[in-house]
Amino acid sequence: MTATPAAEVTHNQWTDPKCAKAFWDQQKYSAYRRLLADTIDWAAPQAGERWLDLGCGSGPLSDALWQRTGGRVGEVVGVDCAAVNVEQYARLQSALGADPARLRFVCHDFSGGLGLFDDGAFDCAVSGLSLTYAESWDADRKQWTQAAYDRIFAEVARVLKPGGRFVFSVNVPSPSWVRVALSSAGSLIAAAGTRKALRQGLRMMRYGRWLKREARTGRFHYLPHADVAAKLKAAGFTAVEHRLSYAGQAYVFRAVAPA
């Protein structure tokens, strides 16, 4: 793991509105729509359940949870470090006719844990390509560690009711954003037009290069599926399984919270 100058520690582009907005249209990519469908199919939300959406971004998973249950889900709480995403949740509430108390956004960096929620507060949890970015800086050793990544699994286990479902996606080691873009080019051009599609794709790949560069320092974590499964089991999760999605660039995991 490579040491990082302290001056770089506090700069996290995920909190930047420009970075957050660059990913607002990713659901137009066919590869992302496949990932979304695979995640929701495994999540299998039911009426009355309370769901936590970690690293929710603009809310595509929250939207899918609501629509899959015909608006009968008990509650969906989206959590993300970028405050600008509250705008998208306001649009979702309006478009879905959702009670803001049942579909809501909370600005919070889950790298520090989920202390704002009580034990067993949720029936189930989802996350889309976000847990990888839990970051922890060891000031004594002057390097990034996986402590926050380990902690978020333990925290999800804590805030879920016993037997609760946890379904999430994370990128494979050394993900290829070019492969995702090429596999989705037709769908994005059809939705946005050639010029806008190219501009949007280049913007996402620019941030993608930053993510991979930071991952090489140990700040972010693109791990083999066996390592992710081991972290889940260490946090007490059982029935751990995974599948490939997102043009082969992401794993979807499903696990059950400890009793």
Q: Tell me the C-alpha distance between 67 and 201, whole Å.
A: 28
pLDDT of 185 reads 61
Contact criterion met (CB below 8 Å) for 137 and 144: yes
Give the pLDDT score at 7. Answer: 40
For residues 246 and 36, what is the distance between their CA atoms, to the nearest angstrom? 9
DSSP-derived pairing of the beta strands 250-256 and 238-245: antiparallel
| Structure confidence at residue 52 (pLDDT) | 98
Compute the half-sphere exposure of residue 105: CA atoms within 13 Å on the CB side of its CA: 23
- pLDDT mean over 224-240: 98
Among 3-12, 51-60, 164-173, 234-243, the range scoring the smallest mean pLDDT is: 3-12
Give the Cα separation of 20 and 109 in Å (integer): 14
Residue 142: per-residue pLDDT: 94
pLDDT tens for each residue of 193-215:
556 656 666 777 788 889 999 99
> pLDDT tens-digit profile of 76-128?
999 999 999 999 999 999 999 999 999 999 999 999 999 999 999 999 999 99
Task: Summarize the confidence of residues 134-138 as an average pLDDT.
Answer: 97
Tally DSSP H helices, then E strands, for the chain.
8, 9
6-256: CATH superfamily: Vaccinia Virus protein VP39 (3.40.50.150)
| Torsion from C-alpha of 158, 162, 167, 168, nearest 10 degrees | 10
User: Do 96 and 78 touch, CB atoms closer than 8 A?
Assistant: no
What length does the chain have?
A: 259
Instruction: Kindly report which listed range (56-65, 79-88, 177-186, 245-254) carries the lowest average pLDDT score.
Output: 177-186
- Tell me the pTM: 0.91
198 contact partners, CB below 8 Å, separation of at least 6? none
- The structural domains of the chain, with segments of one domain joined by +, span 6-256
Q: Which H or E element spans position 215?
A: helix 194-216
